[in-house]
Amino acid sequence: MTAPAVHTLFGVDDRTYEPPEPDRAGTALRYLCAAPTMLFYGATLVWMVAHYPDRLTTALADVALGVAGLVVMWWRRRWPWQVALVIVLLTAFSDTANGPAQVAYVSLCTHRRWRQIVPVAALWWLCLAGRSAWNGVTQPTVVTLVTGTAVLGGLTVFGLYLRTWRDLAASRNEAARTAEREQLQRIERARLAERVRIAQEMHDVLAHRISLLAMLAGGLAYRGDLTPEETRATALAIQENAHQSMNELRAVLGTLRRDGGLEAPQPALAQVEALLEEVRAAGQRVEMDDAVQRRDLLPAQTARHAYRIVQEALTNARKHAPGSRVTAELRGRPGQGLRIRVSNPVPSGTAAGPGGRLGLVGLAERTRMAGGTISHTVRDGRFVLDVRLPWEA
């Protein structure tokens, strides 16, 4: 058993096609389209009554049926073929009914349902032939029949063309709406990606600062051998880190409110040494082996990502291996890429605390954004993080 065929044009199902709802101007225009034919036959009736006064009743009946066709034409959208059939039947008794019949027939043709168009067209032709041959077959009768047949064919072609034009217009409008929706979606995705990037930046900044604050505060809480000067220096370091945290957080949030690109903070690989001094001052033991060549040629975006990767790696080491000695290595030059390798001892019997592995997720996402690769493993009792970033020659 095969599925019934679906006749479509430009993706529109002919069986369920509904013409666009006309506004008041469109409805008035359709009634005006019936006016020329009605006026032509009306003028003919006036001439006939002027020469044959006894045909006044016939003329009035003709006009009344034409007006009835105009009234019935109002329901052509709801019942297209029924209305067309009724008005076509009126043309067997009324010439002025040809005006509304033409409009109703064109409206029927726009549906492109041949099982309805063909019977209505055949009936209209029979009404035309019967009315033309009422007083006998003469040369004017033949001319009238040929002309009426040509008009009927022209109306059929026009109705089909009108349907095609509407389909094309609907297709263009749908394509425009689709393009607009896709553009809005691209804009929304870009905004979401920017917000994710800002959130990553915020995480890197705050995680680094808060972990430093926790380390400094822990020193004050558990070390009783600190001199007043050392205590004061530690308190000042806590104050300075808290102040910097507020400044960096304010900068990131300000960027988010402006819906603009990330403006601050914008550290680079050149600030890694300052970062190391900062974490060493807070008590973290870090050894750095920096062998980057032609650092000045490193792209700014890659340099920023590299700084944040080192910063997050040190933060993870403070979080998961507090007090351990961290080793960091930087290698690279133009054309060979940039390699960042950070390792620290893995304390035995420790479990991931709150937010465990989230730092690695953030590092992986930042590395992906930079177009690089990341790997991590535990080797000889040390956790080793290895990141490679592209660096074109």
Which two three-digit tokens encode residue 260?
Answer: 């603009």
Identity of the residue numbered 295: R
- Tens digit of pLDDT for each residue in 29-65? 777 777 777 778 778 788 888 888 877 888 888 888 8
- Separation between Cα atoms, residue 196 and residue 361, nearest integer Å: 13
Any idea where the domains of the chain sit in the sequence?
8-181, 269-393
Phi, psi values for residue 282, rounded to 5°: -80, -5
Residue 203 is inside which H or E element, if any? helix 139-222
What's the average model confidence in pLDDT over 234-249?
Answer: 71
- Report pLDDT for 387: 93
Which two three-digit tokens encode residue 89?
Answer: 């039947």
Half-sphere exposure in the Cβ direction for 94 (13 Å, CA): 27
pTM above 0.75, yes or no: no
In this model, does residue 246 exceed pLDDT 60?
yes
What's the average model confidence in pLDDT over 303-320?
Answer: 86
- Tens digit of pLDDT for each residue in 191-203? 777 667 667 767 6
In this model, does residue 388 exceed pLDDT 90?
yes
- Separation between Cα atoms, residue 186 and residue 176, nearest integer Å: 15
What's the average model confidence in pLDDT over 153-179?
Answer: 85
Greater model confidence, 144 or 357: 144
DSSP-derived letter for residue 370 is T
Greater model confidence, 128 or 205: 128
269-393 placed in CATH 3.30.565.10: yes
**Long-range residue pairs from 244-253, CB within 8 A, at least 24 positions apart, any chain:** 244/209, 245/205, 245/206, 245/209, 245/210, 245/213, 248/205, 248/206, 248/209, 249/202, 249/205, 249/206, 252/198, 252/201, 252/202, 252/205, 253/202
In this model, does residue 109 exceed pLDDT 70?
yes
3-state helix, strand, coil in the chain (%, to 5): 65, 10, 20
Name the most confidently modeled range: 175-189, 218-232, 357-371: 175-189
In this model, does residue 373 exceed pLDDT 80?
yes
**Tokens 């080797």 identify what position?**
379
What's the average model confidence in pLDDT over 208-228?
Answer: 69
Question: What confidence category does residue 386 fall into, taking pLDDT thresholds of 50, 70 and 90?
Answer: very high
- Separation between Cα atoms, residue 286 and residue 269, nearest integer Å: 16
Question: What confidence category does residue 300 fall into, taking pLDDT thresholds of 50, 70 and 90?
Answer: confident
Question: What confidence category does residue 8 fall into, taking pLDDT thresholds of 50, 70 and 90?
Answer: very low
Q: How far is CA 26 from the centre of its chain?
A: 32
Phi, psi values for residue 379, rounded to 5°: -135, 125
Which two three-digit tokens encode residue 1?
Answer: 């058993």
**Tokens 């101007």 identify what position?**
25
